[in-house]
Amino acid sequence: MDLGRRRSSTSIGHEKCSFHHDLELEHSPLPREELIPELAASYRSVIHNLGEDVTRQGLLKTPERAAKAMLFFTKGYDQTIQEVLNDAIFDEDHDDMVIVKDIEMFSICEHHLVPFWGKVSVGYLPNKRVLGLSKVARIVEVFSRRLQVQERLTKQIANAIVEAIKPAGVGVVVEGTHMCMVMRGIQKVNSKTTTSTMLGEFRNDQRTREEFLSLLK
């Protein structure tokens, strides 16, 4: 079984799927438990190539543990927005700003396969429909639990809310700490990266945007 081929957009059943860039998967991949043996074999090869003894007691079960951990870190590939919203969209005559801020986020950088983490703040102007508040955090979870870059993650969250409830506007701000900057490269321990996406009234109306950003402080 070739893991890379199975997840290619040219594979049978995956012709319309690019996995990392689509707003939503159009289908579910195979059960993730079936991937553990192959992923574990890959981790075993990495450990061996680093010069370690893969039969050493401390490393004997590491490939399987690492495979299970990576599947958990990327569990967003098994979820869709429709599933996590679970009909938690409500008709409501409310047009004032709704903000859910400081949502904890953990993800994996697709460039180096090391973690980045931080906080996500989401605001939107309802247009006769609102989301269950916990569902905003669920949307963040779906997209952060994939191989990501922060810029794309920010936009995906905003676009998903637009698709779900068609609000008058959406604003998303993400602040992240990236291990690829902290542990390697320039090794700037205190560096943080902030990205934002503003759609609808948040982009077009300066007062709306400023109100949102002021409430995040």
Condensed to tens digits (0 to 9), the pLDDT of residues 57-94 reads: 999 999 999 999 999 999 999 989 989 998 899 999 99
Burial of 126 (0-12, 13-18, 19+ CB in 10 A): buried
The answer to whether residue 37 sits within a structural domain is yes
Residue with more model confidence, 51 or 33: 51
Q: Where a domain ends, among 21, 56, 73?
A: 73
CATH number at residue 145: 3.30.1130.10
How far is residue 52 CA from its own chain's centroid? 32
- pLDDT at res. 29: 57
Q: Which residues contact 90 (CB under 8 A, 6 or more apart)?
A: 129, 130, 131, 132
Residue with more model confidence, 136 or 32: 136
21 is catalytic: no
157 with 63, same domain? no
111 is catalytic: yes
- pLDDT at res. 181: 85
| Domain of 56, in residue numbers | 32-73
27 is catalytic: no
Catalytic residue among 150, 156, 175, 201: 150
- pLDDT at res. 91: 94
180 is catalytic: yes
pTM (2 d.p.): 0.83
Q: Where a domain ends, among 18, 46, 73?
A: 73
Question: At which residue do the structure tokens 């004032």 appear?
Answer: 96
Catalytic residue among 52, 83, 110, 210: 110
Catalytic residue among 15, 20, 111, 151: 111
104 with 187, same domain? yes
20 is catalytic: no
157 close to 141: Cβ distance less than 8 angstroms: no
Q: Where are the beta strands (DSSP E) in 22-162?
A: 89-91, 98-109, 115-125, 129-131, 147-148
93 with 193, same domain? yes
At 7-50, the pLDDT tens digits run 434 333 444 444 434 444 455 556 778 999 999 999 999 999 99
- pLDDT at res. 139: 97
